[in-house]
């Protein structure tokens, strides 16, 4: 079945630091990769969607791409802010009939001022 | 205005009791989903639905039932709640049909089974 491995459980940065979160995926379907963000007390919300390998998704200063050869995808931001503190999930979307999403375990991002 | 709402937001239940978690969506999406979120596991799919009257098992359906009486409403039912079902539960909605589409999540229900 589909699977996602999210490498970092927690990342601690200072404001204006560079953020990089990496995941690997496994699927027999043609993948779409998502990044979801979850703030305390809320449900996950879509941050980025990348439908084609090596294409870049951009939103709110975040960038994401995926590499089909290495089955990896990553999220980056050049300069994080304290307001970016949240849990970030890499998510695999497969071409199954019910649009199944497979979530990684999440990365807790803590940004100190 | 919130498009996916859940009730209750917090629930304390006793072991062996029946618990019903409710979800309502105004997105007019065909598909709805129930997940649970536990530390170290991310979100895991319990049940999903293609439309009114349909329910399907997800990856971890044991101990849970679901009901989809209308396009807008999707319930998760714990007939005999156990402490292992203590978790945060999220409902989501999404478009049906082919393609890899995003899902839209509610704010979650925190369930504690004593």
B-chain CB neighbours of A93 within 8 Å are 100-102
Smallest CA–CA separation between A66 and chain B, in Å? 15
B-chain CB neighbours of A49 within 8 Å are 102
Q: What average pLDDT does chain B have?
A: 93
Closest by Cβ to B42, choosing from A32, A46, A105? A105
Residue A97's pLDDT is 64
Q: What average pLDDT does chain A have?
A: 91
In 3D, which of B101, B1, B94, B91 has the Cα closest to residue B47?
Answer: B91
Q: What percent of chain A has pLDDT over 90?
A: 67
CB-based contact (8 Å) between B50 and chain A? yes
B-chain CB neighbours of A31 within 8 Å are 100
Q: What is the mean pLDDT of residues A78-88?
A: 97
Residue A95's pLDDT is 67
Is the pLDDT reported for residue B1 higher than 70? no
Residue B42 CA neighbour count, 13 Å, CB half = 24
């Amino acid at each position: 079945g589909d699977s996602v491995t999210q490498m970092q459980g927690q990342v601690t940065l200072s404001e204006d630091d560079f953020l990089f979160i990496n995941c690997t995926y496994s699927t027999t379907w043609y993948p779409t990769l998502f990044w979801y963000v979850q703030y305390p007390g809320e449900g996950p919300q879509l941050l980025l969607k990348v439908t084609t390998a090596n294409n870049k998704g951009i939103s709110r200063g975040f960038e994401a791409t995926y590499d089909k050869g290495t089955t990896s995808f990553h999220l980056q931001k050049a300069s994080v802010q304290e307001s970016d503190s949240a849990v970030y999930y890499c998510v695999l979307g497969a071409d199954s009939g019910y649009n199944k999403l497979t979530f990684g375990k999440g990365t807790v991002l803590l940004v100190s001022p | 205005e919130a498009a996916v709402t859940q009730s209750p937001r917090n629930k304390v239940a006793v072991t062996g009791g029946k618990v019903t978690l409710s979800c309502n969506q105004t997105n007019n999406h065909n598909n709805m989903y129930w997940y649970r979120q536990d530390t170290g596991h991310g979100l895991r799919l319990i049940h999903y639905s293609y439309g009114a009257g349909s329910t399907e098992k997800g990856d971890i359906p044991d101990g849970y039932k679901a009901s989809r009486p209308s396009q807008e409403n999707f319930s998760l039912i714990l007939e005999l709640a156990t402490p292992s079902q203590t978790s945060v539960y999220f409902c989501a909605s999404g478009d049906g049909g082919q393609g890899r589409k995003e899902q839209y999540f509610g704010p979650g229900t925190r369930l504690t089974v004593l």
